[in-house]
Amino acid sequence: MNFPASVKNLLFEEGVEFKNDFGKETVALGTGIIPIIGTARSGKTSLAYSMLEWVIDNTQRDIILDSFPQGIIDQAFPKKFNGRIFNYAFIDIAKVDRSSVWLVDDTGASFNSRDSMSGNSRTLSKVAGILSHWEQTVIFTTQLFSAVDLSFLRYTALCPLLRRVDPSVISQERPQFQDQVRNSNYMLGSVSKEPYFRDYYFNAKDETICEAPFPKWIDKKYFPKNADMLSKPMKYHTVEMKMKIIGQEPKKKKKG
């Protein structure tokens, strides 16, 4: 499993020396944002999990999953993740004192740009400019850039990775990203041999097509239960947590 230097630059710890794509020694930045954009079932989350496994295998950084059900962390990840994978809400990022890589999944729901008063959205805006001070890298998945507050994309190192985006929704994308998304779709379609172009992704930082790794431990042919848990983590929350995620308060049971 391998990733381009522009991705490794944000996944390695700050200051680690590594070779770039041209064989030249470079020093890792070790902080920034890796957005993964794509329509549902395009392979966003599987690409994110591949990066988390790469971090476990090649760094000493911790992994933090934003508000994942604890049962998934306990049951669905390989043993080598034990002791290095944790469950925090992104709003509590200030409590994390170790260099870490976050996975914020389904960002369109958690960090909706129209939900400007939510705690997560306020945290998102404030944290964008100081991620480097805390040695944090954030991987997040979303169906469109337009679902995310732009303040998160303006003030830090960025390496966007694009999966397939349904052509019918590209018109809903932010104008400055529409041509890039269309170009990505065209390039992926020209080389892919799988539905939804899941075998490749487009690295917008370098404008290159890359093969998409797919770890066996998330393959439903071998681990169907784990694969379902990892591909649809919010499905496994309690009803109370599901209601909280969509901004509703659970109804209190009437006494007597």
* Cα distances (angstroms) measured from residue 227 to each of 32, 75, 106, 123, 219: 28, 11, 17, 30, 6
Beta-carbon contacts of residue 73 (< 8 Å; ≥ 6 apart): 65, 85, 86, 87
Q: Say which residue, 80 or 2, is predicted with more confidence.
A: 80
Q: What is the pLDDT of residue 251?
A: 67
The most confident of the ranges 83-97, 182-196, 224-238 is 182-196
The torsion angle over the Cα atoms of residues 106, 111, 113 and 118, rounded to 10 degrees, is 150
Residue 90 has pLDDT above 60, yes or no: yes
Residue 204 has pLDDT above 50, yes or no: yes
Residue-wise burial string across 205-220, b where 16 or more C-beta atoms lie within 10 A, e elsewhere: beeebbebbbeebbee
Confidence of residue 21 (pLDDT cuts 50, 70, 90): confident
Query: What average pLDDT does range 79-84 have in this prediction?
Result: 95
Residue 112 has pLDDT above 50, yes or no: no
Backbone angles phi, psi at 147, to 5 degrees: -85, 0
Each as own residue / partner, the long-range contacts of residues 181-185 (CB below 8 Å, 24 or more positions apart, any chain) are 181/37
| Mean model confidence pLDDT for the chain | 85
How are beta strands 136-142 and 25-27 bridged, if at all? unpaired
Taking the CB of residue 5, how many other CB atoms lie within 10 A of it? 17
